[in-house]
């Protein structure tokens, strides 16, 4: 009897020991945060309530801001969609991942956030806008999101399709499917459907909306909410009201997504980052709306420029219990910091071979520290432009068309009205030297 009891005890211990790794893995999955990035398209600094917009309301984003941290000095890594999105996904500057124009494809060898998180058991989806260009040498087809670590994809695959606000077809994985409705509504529906399949494991979800990019169009019921509120060149085509409707519909959809996280009990363990891919545009496609509505106020410039209006973006980060609520940050951060920050939150290691340009922001945002002292860089040398910029702390060096470098204190002079290079010549000289060394590190793939 004692022998039999001993065998049962031994078997019991063996079973418990065998289950221990499974229990440990299950607990680790529960503690790994879900990671959600919500990206607007060409949304201006002054288009949101938490940055002072009064002409329309963005209650969902304002609520997110009150529960998280407003990033007062968050920068896109490029002043145009394709390069900026590639920077976000890879944690690298445009000249280091090879995408400096909208028509360039992300090299397949580049590691994305989704690929890096897969090893940590994350399920990933990209819903909305995936920007690819021409296939790289040696490839017949452009790189697809499913080739870059994402398990699911729904949306557009190039900037020309992304001009359609009421599409009839979109990509579901590698298949073209028929759809009907307003694009940002469809994106939200699909993002929520992704949550249905998560099944308790950690996820990375990239929700890349289309508002207020390019075509000025929105659902009629949303436009009606803004009718008569703005001067219109033609009352039959209330363009300013439609622009406002794109932003408020974006806010409603973000609210739907955040409410789903709450309803499913996921919000408390989800790190959320909201941002725009660059500043608002005043180009012909916006038909004068964002200029009339002063979308980048009080910043100077627009998309496709390296003035603050082109690269400083509205941004919020929220992680309940980890990042202080309602406390704004003036730390200088960039979308290249997203990948190392997400990986640190997930407990994943950075491979030195990736040569990331971004840094982990959690010590600064969650633990009250500061981002390490560094210089951020930009270039926009396409479409007959030749612009370079570098920022260290409060000082920004800007060079246009090979002209005299201009230096601005963008903390004291956010509208960049006063060139202070004569007051701080050494600062201007040092930043110019750093900028030249950065340009010398350009990857040959940029010229493909």
pLDDT digits (tens, 9 = 90+) for 119-128: 999 999 999 9
Q: How many CB atoms sit inside 10 A of residue 102's CB?
A: 20
pLDDT at 138: 83
Side-by-side strand order, sheet with 34-40: 69-70, 315-318, 270-276, 34-40, 203-208, 123-129, 152-156, 169-172, 175-178
pTM for the structure as a whole: 0.93
pLDDT in tens, 321-346: 999 999 899 999 999 999 999 999 99
37 Cβ contact list (under 8 Å, min separation 6): 88, 205, 206, 207, 272, 273, 274, 275, 338
Confidence of residue 19 (pLDDT cuts 50, 70, 90): very low
Per-residue pLDDT band at 447 (split at 50, 70, 90): confident
CB atoms within 10 A of CB 52: 11
For residue 291, pLDDT beyond 60: yes
Mean pLDDT of 338-362: 97
Is a pLDDT exceeding 80 seen at residue 52? yes
- Predicted local distance difference test score (pLDDT) of residue 9: 58
User: If you average pLDDT over each of 7-11, 122-126, 284-288, which comes out highest?
Assistant: 122-126
- Give me the domains of the chain, ranges plus CATH numbers: 32-371 (3.40.720.10), 378-447 (3.30.1120.10)
Q: For residues 201 and 117, is the Cβ–Cβ distance under 8 A?
A: no
For 189-229, the pLDDT digits (tens) are 999 999 999 988 899 999 999 999 999 999 999 999 999 99
Say what the pLDDT of residue 137 is. Answer: 86
- Confidence category of residue 136, pLDDT binned at 50, 70, 90: confident
Quick check: 162 and 214 in contact, CB under 8 A?
A: yes
The whole-number pLDDT of residue 28 equals: 53
Across 44-48, 254-258, 368-372, least confident range? 368-372
The DSSP annotation for 112-132 comes to: PHHHHHHTTT-EEEEEEE---
Which pLDDT value is given to residue 20?
A: 43
CA distance 332 to 312: 10
The pLDDT value recorded for residue 4 is 47
CB of 266 closer than 8 Å to CB of 28? no
**DSSP class of residue 33?**
P
Closest CA to 392 of 340, 367, 360, 429: 429
The angle subtended at Cα 61 by Cα 55 and Cα 65, nearest 5°, is 115
Q: Please report the pLDDT score of residue 132 as a whole number.
A: 83
> Taking residues 396-411, what's their average pLDDT?
97
CA angle 145, 151, 157 (to 5 degrees): 25
Of 259 and 163, which is predicted with more confidence?
A: 259
Q: Contact 319/37 with Cβ under 8 angstroms? A: no
Q: Mean per-residue pLDDT for 145-159? A: 93
- What is the pLDDT, as a whole number, of residue 139? 85
Taking the C-alpha atoms of residue 223 and residue 219, their distance in angstroms, rounded to an integer, is: 6
Would you state the pLDDT for residue 208?
Answer: 98
pLDDT at position 21 = 46
Q: Which residues of 124-146 are buried (b: 16+ CB within 10 A; e: fewer)?
A: bbbbbbbbbbeebeeeeebbbbb
pLDDT at 22: 41
CA distance 212 to 125: 22
Q: Which stretches of 382-424 are DSSP H helices?
A: none
pLDDT at 6 exceeding the cut of 80: no
pLDDT at position 27 is: 47
Q: Is the pLDDT of residue 25 over 70?
A: no
pLDDT of residue 141: 86
DSSP state of 87: H
Round to whole Å and give the CA distance between 336 and 356: 8
pLDDT tops 80 at residue 10: no
Share the mean pLDDT of the chain.
Answer: 93
Query: Given this model, what pLDDT does residue 29 score?
Result: 53
Per the CB < 8 A criterion, the answer to whether 205 and 36 are in contact is yes
pLDDT of 81 strictly over 50? yes
């Amino acid at each position: 009897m004692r022998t039999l009891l001993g065998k049962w005890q031994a078997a019991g211990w063996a079973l418990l020991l065998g289950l221990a790794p499974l229990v440990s893995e299950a607990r680790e999955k529960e503690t790994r945060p879900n990671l959600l990035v919500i990206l607007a398209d060409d949304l201006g600094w002054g288009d949101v309530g938490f940055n002072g917009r009064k002409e329309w309301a963005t209650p969902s984003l304002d609520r997110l801001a009150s529960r998280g941290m407003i990033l007062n000095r968050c920068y896109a890594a490029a002043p145009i969609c394709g390069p900026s999105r590639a920077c976000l996904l890879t944690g690298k500057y445009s000249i280091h991942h090879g995408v400096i124009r909208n028509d360039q494809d992300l090299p397949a060898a580049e590691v994305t956030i989704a690929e890096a998180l897969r090893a940590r058991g994350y399920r990933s989806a990209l819903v909305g806008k995936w920007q690819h260009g021409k296939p790289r040498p040696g490839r017949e087809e452009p790189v697809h999101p499913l080739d870059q670590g994402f398990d699911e994809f729904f949306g557009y695959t190039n900037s020309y399709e992304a001009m359609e606000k009421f599409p009839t077809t979109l990509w579901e994985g590698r298949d073209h499917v028929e759809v009907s409705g307003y694009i940002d509504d469809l994106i939200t529906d699909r993002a929520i459907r992704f949550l249905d399949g998560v099944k308790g494991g950690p996820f990375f979800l990239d929700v890349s909306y289309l508002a207020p990019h390019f075509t000025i169009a929105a659902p009629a019921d949303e436009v009606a909410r803004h009718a008569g509120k703005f001067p219109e060149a033609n009352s039959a085509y209330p363009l300013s009201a439609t622009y406002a409707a794109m932003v408020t519909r974006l806010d409603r959809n973000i609210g739907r997504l955040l409410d789903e996280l709450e309803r499913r009990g996921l919000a408390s363990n989800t790190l959320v980052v909201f941002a725009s891919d660059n500043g608002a545009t005043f180009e012909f496609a916006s038909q004068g709306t964002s200029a009339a509505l002063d979308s980048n106020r009080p910043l100077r410039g627009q998309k496709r420029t390296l003035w603050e209006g082109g690269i400083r973006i509205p941004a919020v980060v929220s992680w309940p219990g980890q990042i202080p609520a309602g406390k704004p940050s003036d730390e200088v951060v960039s979308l290249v910091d997203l990948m190392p920050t997400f990986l640190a939150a997930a407990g994943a290691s950075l491979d030195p071979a990736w040569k990331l340009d971004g840094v982990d922001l959690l010590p600064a945002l969650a633990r009250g520290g500061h981002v390490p002292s560094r210089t951020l860089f930009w270039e926009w040398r396409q479409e007959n432009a030749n612009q370079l910029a570098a920022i260290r702390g409060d000082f920004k060096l800007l060079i246009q068309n090979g002209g005299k470098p201009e230096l601005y204190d963008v903390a004291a002079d956010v509208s960049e009205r006063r060139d202070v290079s004569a007051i701080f010549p050494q600062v201007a000289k040092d930043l110019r030297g750093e900028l030249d060394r950065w340009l010398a590190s350009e990857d040959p793939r940029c010229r493909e």
